[in-house]
A and B are shown apart, each in its own frame.
Chain A
Amino acid sequence: SQQGEEDPQALSIQEGENATMNCSYKTSINNLQWYRQNSGRGLVHLILIRSNEREKHSGRLRVTLDTSKKSSSLLITASRAADTASYFCAIERGAQKLVFGQGTRLTINP
């Protein structure tokens, strides 16, 4: 069973706008990771945030983590058409295996 839940399930915005996706989970974690998946392709690692971190940046990506609320958010600023993809959060609780959510389908309209 999947323990991460993304919200919303689908998001459609105009190019240039910011996109925010949320992830909630139920257990304690070592770290939380965000991945992107383009249609018909494998997953690409975007960013990892550890349980003792609250915020992390990578280019146009900003990830926050609130362990008290068991939630994380991924913000993509100044979205581009190439950002159209599915985005998954994955929690790592130990023993290395990742538990993924169902994903958010992001569509950037030109």
Chain B
Amino acid sequence: GAGVSQSPRYKVAKRGQDVALRCDPISGHVSLFWYQQALGQGPEFLTYFQNEAQLDKSGLPSDRFFAERPEGSVSTLKIQRTQQEDSAVYLCASSFDAETQYFGPGTRLLVL
């Protein structure tokens, strides 16, 4: 079956612009995660959904970051007023057993 998909794969934004990143999890996966990966680093947790409920948003770096999953399937990570330090790869993962996470290819965001 299809894996986790993310769009767009690449996004270039001007500083101050708002961006929206989409994640389509594997069908039937209850859990959905967002991670941020800076160049040369490991992924860092941003937020976690179980169905449509956002159970943990402790990793969101500021109130400019907002995530939603209104119908318990597709999720959107929105970054308002982007800044250069937001440049990173944003990874989405989904899970059915609360253990193994299946990652998408990521969205590479570059803020100029």
Does B bind A? yes
Instruction: Write the residues of chain A forming the contact surface with B, with a CB cutoff of 8 angstroms.
Output: 2, 4, 31, 33, 35, 41-45, 48, 88, 90, 92, 95-103
B26 close to A (CB within 8 Å): no
Cβ–Cβ < 8 Å partners of B59 in chain A: 97
Cβ–Cβ < 8 Å partners of B100 in chain A: 33, 45, 48
Pair A99/B45 contact, Cβ less than 8 Å = yes
- Cβ < 8 Å to A, chain B residues 45-100: 45, 48, 55-56, 59, 91, 93, 95, 98-100
Pair A42/B33 contact, Cβ less than 8 Å = no
Pair B99/A102 contact, Cβ less than 8 Å = no
Interface majority SS (helix, strand, loop, mixed), chain A = strand
B104 close to A (CB within 8 Å): yes
Question: In this complex, what residue of B is CB-closest to A1?
Answer: B44
Give me 13 other A-B pairs in contact (C-beta within 8 A), A42-B104, A90-B42, A98-B101 excluded.
Answer: A2-B44, A33-B100, A41-B105, A42-B91, A43-B91, A45-B100, A45-B101, A45-B103, A92-B99, A96-B48, A96-B95, A100-B43, A103-B42
Q: Which of B33, B41, B56, B98 contacts A102 (CB 8 A)?
A: B41
A42–B106 Cα distance when bound, in Å, is 6
- Residue picked from B48, B55, B103, most chain A C-beta under 10 Å: B103
